[in-house]
Amino acid sequence: MSVRQSLLAILNQGPCYGYQLRTEFDRRTGSIWPLNVGQIYNTLDRLERDGLVAKGDTDDHGHVYYQITDAGHTEVTSWLSSPVVRSAAARDELAIKLAIAVTLPGVDISEVIQVQRRGSLRTLQDLTKTKNASGEPESAGDLAWQLVVDSLIFAAEAEVRWLDHSEARLARASAAGLMAPMQLKLEPPKRGRPVRAAADNDAQVAGSR
C-alpha cells in the first residue's frame, strides 16, 4: 500500500518520529489525504516487524526516532523503479452500480447515468475552480499539490467519458432489443466452482506444463 512505501521513502531521507512523518507526508502530498497518527504508528510497527525500519534514539521530548534499514532502502529503490499495478478486479463502486442497474426492471438507466454525470461534472468543476484559484506553483510542495489535483481532475474526466460511452452503448443495445432485465433464477444456485472456469483452469495448467 502506498502509505507504507511513502513513509519509507521519507525515512530514507533521515530518521523521523511519528508525528514528524505525518507532517512530512502531508506537505509532500498537498494535504489531500491526511493521515492520523494512529495509522502512522501502525504502519511503523509493521515496517519494524518486516525489518525495513528500526527504532532508534529517543530525544529529550520523548520522540522516538525511526531509522531505515538496508532492506528498507532497497524497498524504496524498488518501489520507485516499478509501476504501480492496480488490480483489475479492484471494486469500482460506480461500475458495480451501473452493472446492477442495467439488469433491474423498472430502472431508467439513462437517468442513473445523467444523475451520475451531474455529480461527476460538479466534482470536476469544483476541482478546476480550486486549481485555478491557486496560481502558479512556488515550491515543490505546491507542485506536489497540483499534481494530485490534476490526477483527480483527469480521473473525474475519465468517469464522465466512460458515462458518455456507456450511454451510447446502452442506446445501441436498447435499439437492438438487448435491454430486457434479468429475472431472479428460481432454481437454487450451484455451489462450488463454475464448470467452465474449472475447465479453463485445467487447460491453462495443462498448457503451462
Partner 1 sequence: MSTHLAAGSTRPTMPDELLRLDGVAMHYGKGETSVMALSGIDLTVSRGELVAIMGASGSGKSTLLTIAGGLTQPTSGEVVIEGQWLSDLPSAQIAVLRRRTLGFVFQDFNLIPTLTALENVTLPLELDGWPRRKTRTAGLDALAAVGLKDRAQRFPDDLSGGQQQRVAIARAIVGTRRLILADEPTGALDSATGEGVLRMLRDRVDAGAGGILVTHDARHAAWADRIVFLRDGRIVDEHVRDHPESLLAGRRTT
Taking the complex as a whole, the smallest distance from the CB of residue 23 to partner 1 amounts, in Å, to 12
Does 94 bind partner 1 (CB under 8 A)? Our answer is: no
Among 17, 145, 166, 170, binds partner 1 (CB under 8 A): 145
Among 12, 67, 134, 144, binds partner 1 (CB under 8 A): 134
Does 151 bind partner 1 (CB under 8 A)? Our answer is: no
Q: Is 64 helix (H, G, I), strand (E, B) or coil?
A: strand
Does 139 bind partner 1 (CB under 8 A)? Our answer is: yes
Does 67 bind partner 1 (CB under 8 A)? Our answer is: no
DSSP bridge pairs for 54: 67
Does 129 bind partner 1 (CB under 8 A)? Our answer is: yes
State how far the Cα of 144 lies from the Cα of 26, in Å rounded to an integer. Answer: 10
Among 2, 23, 78, 128, binds partner 1 (CB under 8 A): 128
Does 172 bind partner 1 (CB under 8 A)? Our answer is: no
Among 154, 169, 178, 201, binds partner 1 (CB under 8 A): 154
State how far the Cα of 90 lies from the Cα of 72, in Å rounded to an integer. Answer: 27
With a CB cutoff of 8 Å and minimum separation 6, the contacts of 44 are 7, 18, 21, 53, 66
Compare residues 15 and 141 and give the one whose CB is closer to partner 1: 141
Closest of 152, 26, 162, 8 to residue 98, by C-alpha: 162
With a CB cutoff of 8 Å and minimum separation 6, the contacts of 17 are 59, 63, 64, 65, 66
Q: Residue written as cell 450451484?
A: 190
Per-residue contact string for residues 108-127; x = within reach of partner 1 by CB under 8 A: ------x--xx-xxxxxxxx
State how far the Cα of 44 lies from the Cα of 21, in Å rounded to an integer. Answer: 10
Q: Where are the beta strands (DSSP E) in the chain?
A: 16-17, 53-58, 64-68
Site stretch for partner 1 (CB under 8 A), options 24-32, 51-59, 63-71, 81-89: 24-32
Per-residue contact string for residues 27-66; x = within reach of partner 1 by CB under 8 A: ---xxx-x--------------------------------
State how far the Cα of 132 lies from the Cα of 202, in Å rounded to an integer. Answer: 55
Residues that bind partner 1 (CB under 8 A): 30-32, 34, 114, 117-118, 120-130, 132-134, 139, 141-142, 145, 149, 152-154, 156-157, 160-161, 164, 168
